[in-house]
Amino acid sequence: MQRVKQAQQGDEAAFLSLLNKEQDKLYRMIFAYVQNESDAIEVYQQVIIVAFEKIVQLKEPLYFSTWLMRIAINQSITYVKKRDRERAVSPESLHLIEADYRPIEEQLDLWQALQFLPNHYKTALLLRFYHDYTVPQIAEVIELPIGTVKTHIRRGLKMLRQHLKGVYNDEWAKSAEKDDE
């Protein structure tokens, strides 16, 4: 908590040390939206810059992690929207786009199914099942009511299941859906 206060006073080292614990998870979260390494690195760096600039506005140092997560999600989604717009406009740049990430065989279906989800379902599921956030924590990050969060999780799992269509990961999606009711 002291480090947050120090960071708010402009102490870069304190700010960077705060990121230490969160780094990998943040990067992977961003990756789930942008889907390739160079974009993920770029967005990650943007997130750091934005976060350092805005940290003075953080009223409750306790909420640093969730606050940071919100920035990462928003930056990622904005970045992808802009990128996809630009991609549509300039087909010449298609060959410059990095090959899509290929996870290992067993996880390919889940990865692709995840990419099919609209952002609000995807975000809810990642926060719930990757970051182990509680529903209230998720509500805080995405700034929506708890009921809405629950709906997003439920519908997200359902959609995931539909895309997985009987592949083994389907089992988990089924049981997770039941647990969360």
Partner 1 sequence: MSGQNPLKKMMNNIPVPQQKLKEVLRVEGLTKVFDKSSQPIQALRQVDLTLYEGEMVAIMGTSGSGKSTLLHMLSAIDAPTSGKMFVFGEQRDVHLEPQATIFRRNHIGFVFQSFELLEDLNVMDNIAMPLILKGLTNKEIEILVKEALDQVGMKKWRTHLPTELSGGQQQRVAIARALIAKPSILLADEPTGALDFNTTNDILHLLVQLNKELQQTMVIVTHDAYVATFADRVLFFHDGQIVDVYTNKKDESDLEEILEKFKYIARGEQ
Binding site for partner 1 (CB under 8 A): 2-3, 6, 13, 16-17, 20, 23-24, 27-29, 31-32, 37, 41, 101, 103-104, 107, 110-111, 114, 125-126, 129-130, 132, 169, 172, 176, 179
- Nearer Cβ to partner 1 (114/159): 114
Smallest distance from the beta carbon of 172 to partner 1, in angstroms?
5
Helix or strand holding residue 44 (H, E): helix 37-54
Which tokens is 31 given? 């990756």
Nearer to partner 1, 17 or 78 (CB): 17
Half-sphere exposure of 114 (CA within 13 A, CB side): 22
Q: How many residues are given for the chain?
A: 181
- CB 71, CB 50: distance < 8 Å: yes
In the complex, least distance from residue 33 CB atom to partner 1, rounded to whole angstroms: 12
| Closest residue by Cα to residue 181 from 142, 160, 153 | 153
Residue type, 65: S
Q: How far is the CB of 101 from partner 1 (least distance, A)?
A: 7
Q: How far is the CB of 156 from partner 1 (least distance, A)?
A: 11
